[in-house]
Structure 1
Amino acid sequence: MLHERLLQENDIPRLKLIDRAELIHEFYRLQDGQLLCYPQHEVVTGWPPGEAEHDALVLQACYRRGGWLYGVFDEQRLVAAAVVDCQVIHNAGLQLHQLKFLHVSHDYRGRGLGQRLFGLAAEQVRRLGGEGLYVSATPSRNTVDFYRRRGCELLQAPDPVLYRLEPEDIHLYLRLP
């Protein structure tokens, strides 16, 4: 049975247990301000070497400064999570908060968990007084299309710091009503 709760600092190491396995057939890249879809097959079997450990440090810092970390568990196993940073990013004329993490384990996809977590993340931004979410999305078509179906739009000028960290990502934002 699935249950949800706020994550604590000692839960952060569990995030690397989320199964990121995915078969990707198409990617996006930004070209002349437009999304260009191109075929490229990639088999993702897990976390790239060192990424889970790096992410844990970044998310620990986020937690310690007041970030929101939320997880979905199957019994004691963390199967999905979302993280919103409390730091404000000024972009697109809005005060945005970054969606730093949103992953759903392979066997739990298609159940609406990603959509639920995204909605809860947006609610958290509202509670923080933010006007929208900043999303730096992995450029796979499935990921970018997920965010676009939820109303996210391309940022015309990505945040320079976040862009330097992830220049191949598709930088999006969601304006909250």
Structure 2
Amino acid sequence: MIKFQLLTKENMAENALDNYDRLQNVRRVYRKIDSEYMLVEDVGIMDWSFERKQAVAKALISDDYITFGAIREDEIVGFASIEKQLQGKYIVLDMMQVSRKYRGKGMGRTLFQLVKEKAKEMGAKQLYISACASEETIEFYKSMGCKITDNPIKKIAEDEPFDLQMVCDVD
């Protein structure tokens, strides 16, 4: 059984993601071509090194983020993290991941709903997402009601030039 809970320094260790399976096989990505987003073939593998997993775990429980986890038998199998500070009308969804063998089972939907509710509690009007351009990732966010924004947060868009900048109303 999967349980969902707020992750904190008290209930999550810095090594909690050491065995996390981030692997994602990418076949197609969205790219802006002549002012329109189109799917193009771009085969690759997205994964994290051991060091990256430890850095992510440490960041998730830092004072900068609010993180919800999906937990199965004391193992984190998914998480979604938002920044604690509003950026205008936005709360930034900093990171959202579901372990490979748990994808497609509704966990991402539940995690997304939890951060969306928290963002609303915090006074945000929209979640802001700098989303990996992979077809599967963008289709997930679209299914959650997200859309590409015409008004991206400049620094985030510049830091992640291949990501799609998306927003989702929290109401």
TM-score, normalisation: structure 1 = 0.85
Contact 1:86 1:97 in 2 (8 A): yes
Structure 1 runs of 4+ with >4 Å offset: none
Structure with greater helix percent: 1
Amino acid at match of 1:5: Q
Task: Give the letter aligned to residue 71 of structure 1.
Answer: G
Offset at 1:124? 0.6
* Closer/same/farther in 2, CA of residues 39 and 166 from structure 1, 3 Å limit: same
**CA 1:164–1:176 in structure 2 vs 1: closer, same or farther (change >3 Å)?**
same
Deviation of the 1:57 alpha carbon: 5.2
How far apart, CA to CA, are the structure 2 residues paired with 1:174 and 1:24? 24
What's the CA shift for 1:168?
Answer: 1.2
Residue 173 of structure 1 aligns to a residue whose secondary structure is: strand
Q: CA deviation at 1:71?
A: 0.6
SS of the aligned residue for 2:150 comes to: coil
Aligned pair count reads 169
Structure 2 unpaired stretches of 5+: none
Q: Share of identical aligned residues, percent?
A: 26
Of residues 75, 80, 83, the one that matches 2:81 is: 83
Unaligned runs of 5+ in 1: none
Q: Deviations over 1:117-164 (max 9, x none)?
A: 111111011110110100011110100111011111111132112123
The one-letter code sitting in structure 2 at the alignment partner of 1:25 is R
**Where do residues 1-177 of structure 1 align in structure 2 (5 Å cutoff)?**
1-9=1-9, 11=12, 13=14, 14-44=16-46, 46-48=47-49, 50-56=51-57, 58-60=59-61, 63-65=62-64, 67-90=65-88, 95-177=89-171
**Alpha-carbon distance in 1 for matches of 2:106, 2:74:** 20
